[in-house]
Amino acid sequence: MNKTIRRASVFCLLLVLALLVRVTWVQAYQGQALAEDEHNQRNTIAAYANPLGNIIVGGEAITGSLQTGGNTYGYKRTYTNGELYAPVTGYSSQVFGKTQLEYVYRDVLNGADNRLKTPMDVFTDKRADPGNVLTTVDAEVQKAGYEALQGKKGAAVAIDPATGAILGMVVNPSYDPNRITGALDGAAWKELSANQGKALENLAARNPMAPGSTFKLVTLAAALENGLVGSLDTPTGIPDPYTIPGSRTLLKSEAGSAACNNVSVRTALRLSCNNVFAELSSRLGQDKMRAMAEKFGFNQEQRIPFRADPGKYPSDKMSKDQVAQTGIGQFDVQATPLQMAMVTAAIENGGKLVDPHIVSQVTDSGGSVLESFDDPKSRQVISPETASKLQDAMRTVVAEGGGKPAKVEGAEVGGKTGTAQRGVNNSIPPLAWFTSYGKLGGKQIAVAVMIENSDTDRSEIGGGKLAAPVAQKMMQAWLKG
């Protein structure tokens, strides 16, 4: 054999060996990954070959499965009161994927989770009977919030401060996930996904916006914790008219200069005096303000268990006037209703923030528990003394201030109103916010509401008028339900 033939033979042998190595790698190492890839059509067909497990609210299934009679997919997902619970369930579509709880627990709900398999299932490689997801949502709280939001564009979240259980998560306008579960629902999907999918957004936990004066609770907490404020009723010495530090801009308060000049922090919270909280933020400085915000969960990853957007407090270096503006929930401060409900829940719970969660248990088809959230993580974010003072000041807001519409007969209720300016020269209608807590007969609840738009005249937009009644309905449903 001459040298040329020998070299060609060796080269061909190397190619064969390389091909064998590649085939072995694909089959032995990549095979499982390819088989489990969510874009593998075989997995989708197998997932809908049988009825899915259910998402449960108050012992009742709010999901189901319908036999399609088709050749490709045996069943499709159905929803009871789809618009009411869409922010909780998300959707499970044969074509467009899954979101929210449907996505997080997809393997449990379609029987692919290995924890569901019996020894015989493992031996035969049979798909197991699907499991179920039990939520913390209270049906009456959810319904009360949803009905109270009708006619408004916004969202609300209710939390049990002692346990972190999310009792309600509502959005309006919502959408009916039944419209996009099947293989032939392209027209509905195109409609809902238009305008960057805003119709599918969960505004309760995603897309944070300026929280306005509700953020003053964080500012006051920082001032109390850092010794800048002692008594709630001592005059602060902060003048009104007030010029934002580092600028020539006069900062106005809705109550007017005469009402907000040299007032105590209790009065400042009741009247929502911008001068007081802007000056407190300026004195504290960016680092202390950010540290307090982050204790409440701002800038921290949040999973409940689906991903929620955390509130945002600026990390980049700010000027003096910008720091002052953050103290009133403006500049680049952003929050979701979930985030502000977390702030209020910690205040109500003696300064301890319990991780919020919307699932209580995950079970197999027979009810055996696979996961439990009975003991979520918690952390002390402010002292009990600071929490007590904040509760005291918040009660004044409801008893004597703009939070009066949130009163629940016989209950202790504290709250904070908020109106967040938007657009250049306030060209966009402001956001109306309200966050509150309620206690009655051993029960407690924290609620945050954000109204993005309504048919209310612009001059009448305010957290107390628009958002507080929604919070009141949700608190009442829980405390008196």
Catalytic residues: 213
What tokens appear for 210 in the block? 């300026």
What tokens appear for 218 in the block? 């964080």
Query: What Å distances lie between residue 218 and 33, 112, 324, 390, CA to CA?
Result: 46, 44, 13, 10
- Rounded CA-CA distance 154/172 in Å is 6
User: Taken in order 139, 140, 145, 149, is the CA torsion positive or negative?
Assistant: positive
For 149-202, the DSSP string reads: TTTEEEEEEEE-TTT-BEEEEEEES---GGGGSSTT-HHHHHHHTHHHHGGG--
- Rounded CA-CA distance 292/222 in Å is 6
How many other CB atoms are there within 10 angstroms of residue 232's CB atom? Answer: 18
- Rounded CA-CA distance 253/239 in Å is 12
Query: What Å distances lie between residue 394 and 144, 243, 387, CA to CA?
Result: 23, 26, 10
What tokens appear for 235 in the block? 């005059």
- CB 143, CB 137: distance < 8 Å: no
What tokens appear for 217 in the block? 């609770």
What is the C-alpha R_g of the chain? 27
- Rounded CA-CA distance 250/241 in Å is 7
- Rounded CA-CA distance 173/333 in Å is 25
User: Taken in order 305, 90, 340, 350, is the CA torsion positive or negative?
Assistant: negative
CA–CA–CA angle 99, 105, 108 (5° rounding): 140
Quick check: bond before 177 cis, omega within 30? no
- Rounded CA-CA distance 222/361 in Å is 36
- Rounded CA-CA distance 239/188 in Å is 56
